[in-house]
């Protein structure tokens, strides 16, 4: 199903019930069932994630608001005018939402309106991520990543240091590794048991999109002419091992990757607007959108790997079934 | 390739008139929509969705280049603004009064994503005619802001005499012979003359020639050099071993920062010149704030145009020399503690 919106597609994703939704640069959330929710009037949505309840999306905007949108309407969860909210994550397991607002990471509990945690950082936080259980939060910032226990008040962060600016962050599904994307064209990683550093470089562009799959045995990233897959099995993760590249195409860079933690299907969105998927047990890639356009900015696989959704800079979007 | 959005970087010392200028840009009916990135949110008393606060977080790139510093917050804010694509026409970045303009300018050359979507249009510096001399005496940042500028708005001219203005302009030109100076009262300058100027565009450097490095006598930005044939302050004074710290008013070349203009009537050996410029920027990059030039390369019909911000160099062969046109090479280096004699010697040694 090809779709066309009049604004930048910040995020395209599935909520836990499998319903597709798009979060746009014009401040609206569009559901596949055709509802439009004015989540951030006169503002732009900067980040989005599925709500922990399984219903709808949580979005952060350049109006300083965090909003929960469902087809029936929008609910404001937090607001501080003048501070952009440009990173958000949520955990269905713990029912928590974490978001970055300037140098702070704030945590909300969807079941307890009184619950609020604020974790301060020395520099602006660029990205936040929960571990698989939703108990720990990693914040990507300047000079490394800070780890926090999501519910504990008055704690000191565990600091994972590495010089430079870290712009995206993800835990491996087993919680053994943390990976950040850097301002330079490289990833950095830490083995959390001993904070051992892992350097993953050689990219021609910033590898800002990261997705784990295959029960955590593989990590897919953007930032190269093909999708880069790093082996993450075993105690050493990618240390001392080589990455492989699939779907290499000299004329384009992979801008977005998508996968599910347990699955074996990967999807790539290119900077020239094309989209493909690959099944790891098979060779070759299957082109989902061959038409060229502006860069793909949003891409997601449904939890059951049955559907794929994407969007680009100019508001073109699509939703396809990957089965039959 | 998507269109690149023009970005004007607005610098200037506290009280120079930046906020007044920004308020004019945001309120005047000029038919354009500007996104404004400010450092102190709230100072602009205007409720506008396109006014964004930023934190001036400067960091070094891990690329082995010591002067390669960028503004991390700016990279994030620009990436966020791109999500409002189509809802604004241009971006203005205001820096704090104490900011070094280097990292903000370099952000537009170092970050590939920023570079792909935006282009640095100009660094515009607002100075207060009444207090600028004092500021230049006591503040390194004030000197750097002028040295870095592509254009200078000399504001509050109604508060000083014509003689004062001329003395101030002389001193500004000693620091920066490249930037045109526009006089203004209450930051009232025609916006179309300061925004969307393509001052960073190499093509534009060519368009502005042959006078770009030295507008005619009596015009804004004119520099007295060997081509205007009268006595001036550029050919003496740097080797006297004088005290660089007392910096009294009106003694222009007491400033640690100055512009050095070089020229050569003979063609230049392209390889030798490139090697010299690369080595110069590699060694002196931290001290060289800006450089621009047009080079007549021996055996090449097109002119070589370059410009640099610290160690970041952009250069290209541009349009051919016209038949009968005066072919000569010109370059200006603006920087801290520049050895003018060594620069001239190195430049002239590149002659083919």
**What are residue A323's phi and psi, to 5 degrees?**
-110, 130
For chain A, helix (H) and strand (E) counts, in that order, are 0, 30
Contact B76 A124 (CB under 8 A): yes
**Which of A239, A238, A208 is closest to A222 using CA atoms?**
A208
φ/ψ region of A54 (left if φ > 0, alpha if ψ in -120 to 50, else beta) reads left
| Each residue's pLDDT tens digit, A107-131 | 999 999 999 999 999 999 999 999 9
Please report which confidence band the pLDDT of residue A26 belongs to, taking 50, 70 and 90 as the band edges: very high
Asked if A186 and A150 count as a contact pair (C-beta separation under 8 A), the reply is no
- The answer to whether A84 contacts chain B (CB < 8 Å) is yes
What is the predicted pLDDT for the residue at B42?
Answer: 56
Q: What is the reported pLDDT for A127?
A: 98
- Tell me, what's the pLDDT at B204? 64
Measured distance CA(B146)–CA(B123) in Å, rounded? 10
Residue B217 has pLDDT above 80, yes or no: no
**Residue in B2, B41, B57 nearest the CB of A142:** B57
CB atoms within 10 A of CB B245: 8
Quote the pLDDT of residue B247. 40
Q: Which residue has the higher pLDDT, A155 or B29?
A: A155
Classified as helix, coil or strand, A26 is: coil
Q: For A127, which residue in chain B has the nearest alpha carbon?
A: B76
Shortest distance between the Cα of B115 and any Cα of chain A, in A, equals 13
Find, among B256, B286, B273, B275, the residue nearest to B331 by Cα: B273
* pLDDT the model gives residue B213: 47
Q: How much is the pLDDT for B44?
A: 62
pLDDT confidence tier of residue B125, bands split at 50, 70 and 90: very high
In terms of pLDDT, which residue wins out, B230 or A213?
A213
Q: What is the pLDDT of residues A210-237, one digit of tens each?
A: 999 999 999 999 999 999 999 998 888 8
* Chain A closest-CA separation from residue B24 CA (Å): 21
pLDDT above 70: percentage of residues in chain B:
80
- The Cα B338–Cα B347 span in angstroms is 14
pLDDT of B224 strictly over 50: no
- Give the count of alpha carbons within 13 A of A233, CB side only: 5
Helices (H), chain B: 18-27, 72-81, 101-110, 112-117, 132-138, 140-148, 162-175, 202-208, 270-284, 340-348
Q: Is A123 on the interface with B (CB under 8 A)?
A: yes
pLDDT band at A315 (very low <50, low <70, confident <90, very high): very high
Confidence of residue B244 (pLDDT cuts 50, 70, 90): very low
Residues of B with CB under 8 A from a CB of A: 2, 41-42, 49, 52-53, 55, 57, 59, 61-63, 70, 72-73, 75-77, 80, 82-87, 111-113
What is the distance in angstroms between the Cα of B84 and the nearest Cα belonging to chain A? 5
- Of B57, B63, B80, Cβ closest to residue A46: B80
Q: Report yes or no: A309 at the B interface, CB cutoff 8 Å.
A: no
What pLDDT, on the 0 to 100 scale, is given for residue A135?
A: 97
For residue B270, the 8-state DSSP code is H
Q: Residue B69: its pLDDT value, please?
A: 86
pLDDT at B226: 39
Residues of B in contact with A25 (CB under 8 A): 83-85
Residues of A in contact with B77 (CB under 8 A): 84
Tell me, yes or no, if A44 comes closer than 8 A to chain B by beta carbon: yes
What pLDDT sits at residue B127?
95
pLDDT > 90 in chain B, percent? 47
- A86 closest CB neighbour out of B59, B76, B85: B76
Q: How confident is the model at residue B220 (pLDDT cuts 50, 70, 90)?
A: very low
Contact A66, A77 (CB under 8 A): yes
Q: What are the distances in angstroms from CA A258 to CA A208, A210, A217?
A: 12, 8, 15
Quick count: other Cβ atoms within 10 Å of Cβ B188? 13
Contact A164 B62 (CB under 8 A): yes
At residue A145, the 3 state secondary structure works out as strand
Domains of chain A and CATH, by start: 205-324 (2.130.10.10)
Of residues B218 and B90, more confidently modeled: B90
Range from A119-128, B79-88, B138-147 that averages highest in pLDDT: A119-128
Substitution target from A46, A101, A120, A161 for chain B, most B beta carbons within 10 A: A46
**What ipTM was reported for this prediction?**
0.91
Residue range A150-206, pLDDT digits in tens: 999 989 999 999 999 999 999 999 999 999 999 999 999 999 999 999 999 999 999
Q: Which residues of B touch A88 (CB under 8 A)?
A: none
Contact A314 B85 (CB under 8 A): yes
Residue spans of beta strands (DSSP E) within B156-301:
181-183, 257-264, 288-295
Mean pLDDT of chain B: 82
Q: How far is B106 from chain A (nearest CA, A)?
A: 14
| pLDDT, tens digit, 9 for 90 and up, residues B296-308 | 999 999 999 999 9
pLDDT band at B46 (very low <50, low <70, confident <90, very high): low
Please, are residues B305 and B315 in contact by the beta-carbon 8 Å criterion? yes
- How many angstroms separate the CA atoms of B57 and B244, rounded? 31
Please indicate whether, in this complex, the C-beta atoms of B83 and A25 are within 8 angstroms of each other.
Answer: yes
Write down the pLDDT at residue B96: 84
Categorize the per-residue pLDDT at B169 as very low, low, confident or very high, splitting at 50, 70 and 90.
very high
Q: What's the pLDDT score for residue A289?
A: 96
Please state the rounded mean pLDDT for residues A289-299.
96
CA distance B157 to B167: 12
Per-residue pLDDT, A234:
84
Is 60 exceeded by the pLDDT of residue B210?
no
Instruction: Please answer yes or no on whether A123 and B111 come within 8 Å at the CB atom.
Output: no
Q: Which residues of A35-59 are buried (b: 16+ CB within 10 A; e: fewer)?
A: eebebbeebbbbbbbbbbbebbbbb
CA atoms within 13 A on the CB side of A265: 15
């Amino acid at each position: 199903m090809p779709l066309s919106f009049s604004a930048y597609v910040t995020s395209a994703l599935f909520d836990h019930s499998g319903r597709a939704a798009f979060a746009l640069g014009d401040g609206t959330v569009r559901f596949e069932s055709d509802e439009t929710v004015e989540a951030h009037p006169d503002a732009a949505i900067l980040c989005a994630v599925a709500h922990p309840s399984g219903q709808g999306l949580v979005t952060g905007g350049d109006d300083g608001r965090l909003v929960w949108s469902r087809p029936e309407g929008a609910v404001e969860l937090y607001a501080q005018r003048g501070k952009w909210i440009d990173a958000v994550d949520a955990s269905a397991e713990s029912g928590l939402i974490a978001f970055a607002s300037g140098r702070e990471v704030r945590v909300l509990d969807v079941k307890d309106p009184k619950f609020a945690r604020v974790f301060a950082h020395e520099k602006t936080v660029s990205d936040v991520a929960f571990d698989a259980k939703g108990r720990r939060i990693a914040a990507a910032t300047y000079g490394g990543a800070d780890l926090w226990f999501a519910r504990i008040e008055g704690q000191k962060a565990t600091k994972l240091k590495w010089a430079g600016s870290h712009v995206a962050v993800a835990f491996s599904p087993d919680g053994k590794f943390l990976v950040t994307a850097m301002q330079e064209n490289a990833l950095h990683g830490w083995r959390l048991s001993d904070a051992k550093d892992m350097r993953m470089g050689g990219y021609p562009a910033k590898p800002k999109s990261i997705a784990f799959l295959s029960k955590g045995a593989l990590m897919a990233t953007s930032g190269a002419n093909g999708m880069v897959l790093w082996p993450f099995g075993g105690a050493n993760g990618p240390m001392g091992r080589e990455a492989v590249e699939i779907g290499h195409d000299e004329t384009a860079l992979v801008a977005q990757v998508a996968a599910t933690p347990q699955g074996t299907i990967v999807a790539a969105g290119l900077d020239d607007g094309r989209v493909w998927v690959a099944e790891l047990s098979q060779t070759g890639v299957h082109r989902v959108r061959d038409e060229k356009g502006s860069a793909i900015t949003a891409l997601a696989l449904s939890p059951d790997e049955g559907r794929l959704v994407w969007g680009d800079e100019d508001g073109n979007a699509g939703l396809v079934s990957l089965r039959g | 390739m998507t269109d690149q959005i023009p970005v004007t970087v607005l610098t200037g010392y506290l009280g120079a008139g930046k906020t007044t200028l920004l308020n004019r840009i945001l309120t005047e009916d000029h038919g354009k929509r500007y996104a404004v990135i400010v450092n102190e949110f709230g100072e602009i008393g205007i409720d506008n969705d396109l006014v964004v606060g930023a934190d001036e977080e400067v960091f070094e790139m891990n690329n082995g280049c010591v002067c390669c510093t960028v503004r991390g917050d700016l990279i994030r804010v620009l990436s966020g603004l791109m999500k409002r694509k189509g809802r604004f026409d241009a971006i203005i970045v205001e820096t704090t009064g104490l900011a070094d303009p280097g990292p903000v300018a370099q952000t537009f050359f170092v970050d590939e994503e920023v570079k792909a979507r935006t282009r640095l249009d100009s660094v515009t510096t607002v100075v207060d005619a009444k207090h600028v001399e004092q500021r230049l005496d006591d503040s390194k940042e004030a000197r750097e802001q002028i040295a870095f500028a592509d254009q200078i708005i000399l504001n509050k001219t109604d508060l000083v005499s014509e003689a004062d203005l001329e003395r101030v302009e002389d001193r500004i030109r000693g620091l920066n012979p490249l930037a045109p100076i526009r006089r203004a009262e209450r930051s009232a300058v025609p916006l179309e003359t300061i925004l969307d100027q393509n001052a960073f565009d190499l093509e534009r450097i060519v368009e502005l020639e042959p006078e770009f490095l030295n507008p005619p006598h009596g015009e804004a930005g004119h520099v007295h050099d060997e081509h205007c044939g009268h006595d001036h302050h550029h050919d003496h004074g740097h080797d006297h071993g004088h005290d660089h710290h007392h910096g009294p008013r009106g003694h222009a070349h007491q400033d640690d920062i100055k512009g050095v203009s070089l020229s050569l009537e003979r063609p230049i050996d392209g390889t030798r010149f490139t090697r010299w410029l690369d080595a110069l920027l590699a060694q002196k990059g931290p001290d060289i704030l800006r450089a621009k030039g047009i080079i007549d390369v021996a055996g090449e019909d097109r002119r070589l145009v370059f410009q640099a911000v610290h160690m970041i160099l952009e250069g290209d062969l541009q349009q051919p020399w016209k038949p009968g046109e005066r072919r000569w090479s010109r370059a200006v280096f603006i920087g801290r503690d520049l050895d003018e004699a060594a620069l001239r010697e190195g430049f002239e040694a590149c002659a083919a």
